Amino acid sequence: MSMRGPGGRSQFMTDEEKKNAPKVTKELLARIFSYLTPYWKQMAVVLTAIICSSILAIYPSIITGKIIDEGLLAKDLNRLVYLILLSLAVTLGSNLIGVLESYMNTWIAQHITFDMRNQMYEHLSRMPQSFFTSSNQGDIITRMTSDISGVQQIITNTFTSILSNSITLIVALVAMFSKNWVLAITGIIIVPLFTIPTRKAGKTRWTLTREAQAVNDQINGILNETLSVSGQLLVKVFGMEKFEYRRYRKANEKMINLNIRESMAGRWFRVVISTVSSVGPMLLYLVGGILMIRYNHDLTVGDITVLVTLLGRMYGPVNSLLNIQVEWIRAMANFTRIFSYYDMPVEIENAPDAIRPESAKGDIEFKNVYFRYNPERMILKDVTFRLDSGHSIAIVGPSGSGKSTLINLIPRLYDVLEGSVTFDGIDVRKLDLEFLRKNIGIVTQDTYLFNGTIRENLMYANVHASVAEMEEACRKANIHDYIMKLEKGYDTEVGNRGLKLSGGEKQRISIARVLLKNPAVMIFDEATASLDSISEKAIQDAIDPLIESRTSILIAHRLSTILAADEIIVLKDGVIVERGTHKELMNAGGVYTELYNTQFKPQIAEE
Ligand code: ATP
């Protein structure tokens, strides 16, 4: 019955294991190998070093036999000194080779990690926006940091350990058999006793490691969510400190329990191994003694000592090699996780025959566009409109009607489900992405500034811009005078995400940033949050001339912006329900009139 209890539990773990264990296919190994191939020369050096140092490491054991037989028992002092010096020299040689080996190893591991990390970053930065909105930030960071660092561990430890231990083992076995086969077999008989506890411990540790990884992702997620500036703000204003603390504490508790269990799984395993390994030498002395004493075998004391030392040398590698099973699975899982990220489709990328026109005019057309983030709900339905270059369109509509979604389709942050979006008459999916995005400037509702100076943030749009151009853009955006009043001017640090600036200032800086980029089409997602009337006026003064002079699409929440546009499109539940000028729409007395009465009219009253 006692078998059933743990049996049932282990059955559960096996299921889990089956679900999570990576299939070690030829393809997976070949793929891992492809990262090693550029460094084959260095690998050859490592391999040679491992072979040499493994052989040399066995030598002192063999010399010990000679020290006993030819030096001590034969009472030959000269020979004794010579053998001792030889043994020391061999050990030194083997260690020196070891240094070379570990240097080369680290070098290879660091270079492979470098390659993989860059590849991962490059791949992630090509992922569609939907990837970032739907995946957990903690997961992404774990992949970038611990999983890729894991690769380094695997190369410096796991792979090398497999190689050097296998070679040491083979050399030790050959040496043992060449001394005395009876004693060699006696020593080997003990070996299978290792496999039973190893297998069990291996399985348990594997499952625990996976669980720990999941909890680690969870902890990273909590930290990322709650210890960010906006996260903390949310926690504070909702008084959720205790709740978040408890959530964190719970995950942390789970983590330590898993860690303790994992470390104990390994500990029990080591107890058994060390007990078993002390039986081996004794058995050799016994069998060797019987052979010498009873059967007058020509074995010498030195031979038996050599065999015992070699056996000692063998257990280490066997032990490690059995342990390696766990490491190996972990390594494969690590690579599988990384590769699963590499394999995520980029979705939005350049068509093979992407078109890159010489110049951009800025005509935009939506033709029967349908779009949804997920299958449950269609966000945009049959959206059709045209914006000729030099003109402007204001998009208005209730919150959640799909306005931001609509503009995100233009620079291909997402692709349409049906229909098409064209830029200068060419489907955006056929255009070169870099060209497209270079020619579209967006001022988003949620202004994002990097932690750096105002200058750095502005130059992000155009690294080649001159100081005069930068200042001109800021003048147009109505922010130059403000910046000049700051003690450090353009070199003022904006703080984390630009939090040292007010909402209105950030917006004007982001307008200047887009102006510096000088795109053919300007998209302005007006913030819904109301600003004080001075900031409002400053922004208004910045936008109005832009609308006049540029092809622009404005998601408008303010009457003045709407009035400045050539045409107004009214979006409701993802459908264009009305379009026309302010006057026409007011006369129609539909959705726009309603919006006007609820949203825009109160603004006038406020002013
Ligand atoms: P607002 O004026 O409040 O900014 P909006 O008209 O710009 O609203 P969108 O942001 O386009 O509206 O959102 C339209 C709908 O799509 C909303 O119901 C929103 O919940 C949903 N939505 C937006 N982004 C995503 C996303 N990344 N994944 C799934 N659904 C989304």
Atom 23 in ligand 1: residue holding the nearest Cα: 405
Q: How far is the CA of 310 from the centre of ligand 1 (A)?
A: 70
Per-residue pLDDT tens digits for 98-142: 899 989 999 999 999 999 999 989 888 888 887 887 777 778 888
Per-residue pLDDT tens digits for 538-565: 777 777 777 777 889 988 887 877 888 8
pLDDT for 606 equals 58
Sequence-distant (6+) residues with CB within 8 A of 178 are none
Atom 30 in ligand 1: residue holding the nearest Cα: 373
The response to whether residue 377 sits with its C-beta less than 6 Å from ligand 1 reads no
Atom 27 in ligand 1: residue holding the nearest Cα: 133
DSSP sequence for 580-595: E-HHHHHHHTSHHHHH
Atom 29 in ligand 1: residue holding the nearest Cα: 373
Q: What is the largest CA-CA distance in the chain?
A: 120
Q: What is the mean pLDDT of the chain?
A: 83
Backbone φ and ψ of 89, nearest 5°: -65, -40
Q: Pairing state of beta strands 364-371 and 418-423?
A: antiparallel
pLDDT for 13 equals 36
Read off the DSSP letter of residue 461: T
Question: What is the spatial distance between Cα 498 and Cα 515, in angstroms, rounded to a whole number?
Answer: 19
DSSP sequence for 264-281: HHHHHHHHHHHHHHHHHH
CA dist 2 to 5, 6, 266, 538, 571, Å? Answer: 6, 7, 22, 78, 68
Half-sphere exposure of 475 (CA within 13 A, CB side): 6
Cβ–Cβ < 8 Å for 341, 123: yes
Residue 463 burial class via C-beta count within 10 angstroms: exposed 0-12, middle 13-18, buried 19 and up? exposed
Atom 31 in ligand 1: residue holding the nearest Cα: 373
Cβ–Cβ < 8 Å for 504, 538: yes
Sequence-distant (6+) residues with CB within 8 A of 539 are 478, 504, 507, 508, 511, 531
Q: How far is the CA of 437 from the centre of ligand 1 (A)?
A: 21
Question: What is the spatial distance between Cα 13 and Cα 11, in angstroms, rounded to a whole number?
Answer: 5
The H-assigned helical ranges of 301-361 are 301-342
Which atom in ligand 1 lies closest to the alpha carbon of residue 571? 6
Cβ–Cβ < 8 Å for 109, 156: yes
Q: How far is the CA of 41 from the centre of ligand 1 (A)?
A: 54
Give the DSSP H or E segment for 394: strand 392-396
Per-residue pLDDT tens digits for 153-179: 888 888 888 888 898 888 888 988 988
The response to whether residue 133 sits with its C-beta less than 6 Å from ligand 1 reads yes
Atom 17 in ligand 1: residue holding the nearest Cα: 400
The response to whether residue 489 sits with its C-beta less than 6 Å from ligand 1 reads no
For residue 478, the SS3 value is coil
Per-residue pLDDT tens digits for 256-301: 998 888 888 777 777 776 776 677 788 888 988 998 888 877 888 8
Pocket test for ligand 1, best of 404, 557, 575 (most atoms within 8 A of CB): 404
The response to whether residue 400 sits with its C-beta less than 6 Å from ligand 1 reads yes
Q: How far is the CA of 106 from the centre of ligand 1 (A)?
A: 48
The response to whether residue 439 sits with its C-beta less than 6 Å from ligand 1 reads no
Question: What is the spatial distance between Cα 32 and Cα 597, in angstroms, rounded to a whole number?
Answer: 64
DSSP sequence for 512-540: HHHHHH--SEEEEE--SS---HHHHHHHH
